[in-house]
């Protein structure tokens, strides 16, 4: 049973990778034609995925403080830069404040912001 499962899983992997069987040594079966290239639209869409990247953060100095292990200083810098994060601030500032509060151990205040 284990041998059968191993064989079946190997066949599934080979099928998923698109590997074609080799022609027998005697050459009795005709060779398989090579696969055509993917359509141009598929090639363009893959190029866009390969070139995609996230935008730079809106508050790089706050992120630098946070990554430096100073969530309290990062919170102060964020509040100085944004003014107030009471719900009228940009969404990124509110999410960043919630994450910084959690990093600083202020879990209740962080949960309030997420709500």
Q: How far apart are CA 94 and CA 106, in angstroms?
A: 15
Question: Domain total for the chain?
Answer: 1
Instruction: Report the percent of the chain where pLDDT is more than 90.
Output: 15
Q: How far apart are CA 66 and CA 59, in angstroms?
A: 11
- Six-digit token string for 39: 């359509």
Tell me the residue range of the domain where 66 lies. Answer: 60-114
- Per residue in 68-90, pLDDT (tens digit) is 999 999 999 998 888 765 657 78
pLDDT at 30 over 80: no
The closest of 72, 70, 80 to 89, measured between CA atoms, is 80
Cα separation values, 11 from 7, 18, 28, 40, Å: 6, 11, 23, 30
Of residues 65 and 29, more confidence is placed in: 65
Residue 34 falls inside a structural domain:
no
Residue 8 falls inside a structural domain:
no
């Amino acid at each position: 049973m284990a041998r059968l499962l191993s064989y079946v899983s190997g066949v599934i992997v080979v099928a998923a990778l698109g590997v074609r069987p080799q022609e027998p040594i005697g050459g009795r079966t005709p060779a398989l034609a090579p696969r055509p290239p993917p359509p141009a639209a598929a090639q363009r869409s893959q190029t866009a995925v390969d070139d995609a990247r996230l935008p730079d953060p809106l508050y790089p100095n706050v992120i630098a403080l946070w990554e430096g292990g100073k969530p309290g200083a990062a919170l102060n810098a964020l509040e100085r830069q944004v003014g107030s994060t009471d719900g009228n601030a940009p969404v990124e500032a509110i999410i960043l404040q919630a994450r910084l509060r959690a990093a600083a151990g202020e879990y209740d205040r962080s949960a309030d912001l997420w709500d």
